[in-house]
Amino acid sequence: MLTRLTLTDFRNHVAATLIPGNGFNVLAGPNGAGKTNVLEAVSLLAPGRGLRRAALSDIAREGGSGGFGVAADLPCDVRLGTGTQSAAPERRIVRVNGAGAPATALAEWLSVLWLTPAMDRLFVEPAGERRRFLDRLTLALDPGHAAHATRYDAAMRQRNRLLAQDAAPDPDWLTALEARMVEHGVALAAARAACVAALDARIDAGPATDFPRAALTLNGWDGDAARLAADLRSGRARDAAAGRTLSGPHRVDLTVTDRDRGIAAARCSTGEQKALLLGLVLAHAELVAARAERAPVLLLDEVAAHLDPQRRAALFARASGIGQVWLTGTEAALFRDISGDATRFDVIGGRIGIAQASS
């Protein structure tokens, strides 16, 4: 969890410092005030492009220095920092206790999960969106997952360029790149499968709740190293013609169904899909809290506004004790039924103030 969060020239925040509580942290304020921006800043303390997947140059405050900064203190006397400088607005800088580090190193210190309104269509979007979602779930349980993903993607990009630029590419070079893809691809597949199995088992063993229970399966390449190596070798001409690699873990899809009704999530109503996704995220947060060495940081953007009072109460009850939970909403009244520790912030025009701290 975070004990202190500092933003500098981040979106509409010139300079802001928050001292979050251990449990619920509620950010309330009008649309456009900067609530989601705070959650985005926290999400950048994990590997990847954050909950908006925005270009780094778009994050820096308009009229600011040209760069931005996010810093956070952890209970273990560790300070994480990330941001950019005006001279290189698309080059991300990551620091751990002041020393430079790769972005993948952030996963060693924090498990950050999130749910945003943009994810409401996850079950009907292209497979790539579900794959990214699955990788975030996996990363929270296996911090090494990000490094394997980065190395796999790098080898695949090199292979694609070699096939596109050279009419007679060096077969030994291709073989070496494909060997790296297989090595890291097998690790990706194993981590994803372990995450899905653990999460599916936890959901299956749990009781029925106010949120529908998801059942998860993986579709696509199953992690067989010999088969991937053969597919890559035999598919060189095909991939060159397509301009991309057509076999491997980057083609896997996550299938979700309503466990109790046996209906594919993609066929459920919009409201059912939202509830199914929220139940899935909560179950995963519980799994991380139970299995990882640290409690997760859970970011829930504008979630409460779309729930009826019964499910809203169920959300607060279930999220209590999972870890550090950040909630946003336009109305503070949406969160008045939170029991236990809660730290409340008012966010207005890029300014953040303590609204109430209650126990």
CATH of the domain at 214: 1.20.1050.90
Tracing tokens 């109430």 back to the chain, one arrives at: 356
What SS3 state is found at 119?
helix
In the chain, the percentage of residues whose pLDDT exceeds 70 is: 99
Beta bridge partners of 72: 5, 80
- Amino acid 123: pLDDT: 97
What SS3 state is found at 307?
coil
My answer on whether 146 and 276 are in the same domain is yes
pLDDT in tens, 169-219: 999 999 999 999 999 999 999 999 999 999 999 999 887 788 999 999 999
Mean pLDDT of 149-170: 94
CB atoms inside a 10 Å sphere around CB 174: 18
Beta strands in the chain (DSSP E): 4-10, 13-18, 24-28, 68-74, 78-85, 88-96, 99-100, 112-115, 214-219, 253-258, 263-264, 297-300, 324-329, 342-348, 351-358
Distance from C-alpha of 47 to C-alpha of 12, rounded to nearest angstrom: 23
Question: Which among 225, 234, 147 is positioned nearest to 183, based on CA atoms?
Answer: 225
Contact partners, residue 305, CB within 8 Å, separation at least 6: 329, 330, 331, 334
CB atoms inside a 10 Å sphere around CB 225: 13
My answer on whether 84 and 179 are in the same domain is no
CB atoms inside a 10 Å sphere around CB 269: 9
pLDDT-derived band at 358, boundaries 50, 70, 90? very low
What SS3 state is found at 22?
coil
pLDDT in tens, 262-311: 999 999 999 999 999 999 999 999 999 998 778 899 999 999 988 999 99
My answer on whether 300 and 281 are in the same domain is no
Q: Of the candidates 238, 267, 293, which is a domain's last residue?
A: 293
Distance from C-alpha of 283 to C-alpha of 300, rounded to nearest angstrom: 14
**Does a structural domain hold residue 115?**
no
- Amino acid 294: pLDDT: 80
My answer on whether 300 and 287 are in the same domain is no
pLDDT in tens, 20-68: 999 999 999 999 999 999 999 999 999 999 999 999 999 999 999 999 9
**Does a structural domain hold residue 233?**
yes
CB 35 within 8 A of CB 327: no
My answer on whether 276 and 322 are in the same domain is no
In terms of residue numbers, what domain contains 2? 1-110+295-359
- pLDDT exceeds 90 at position 341: no
- Amino acid 210: pLDDT: 87
Mean pLDDT of 124-145: 96
- CATH number of the domain enclosing 329: 3.40.50.300
**Does a structural domain hold residue 274?**
yes
Mean pLDDT of 214-230: 96
- pLDDT exceeds 90 at position 105: yes
Give the max Cα distance, the chain: 69
pTM for the model: 0.93
Mean pLDDT of 143-165: 96
Structure tokens, 149? 């993903």
pLDDT-derived band at 356, boundaries 50, 70, 90? low
Question: Which among 96, 182, 103 is positioned nearest to 139, based on CA atoms?
Answer: 103
Angle of CA points 323, 194, 47, to nearest 5°:
55
Mean pLDDT, the chain, integer: 94
My answer on whether 301 and 219 are in the same domain is no
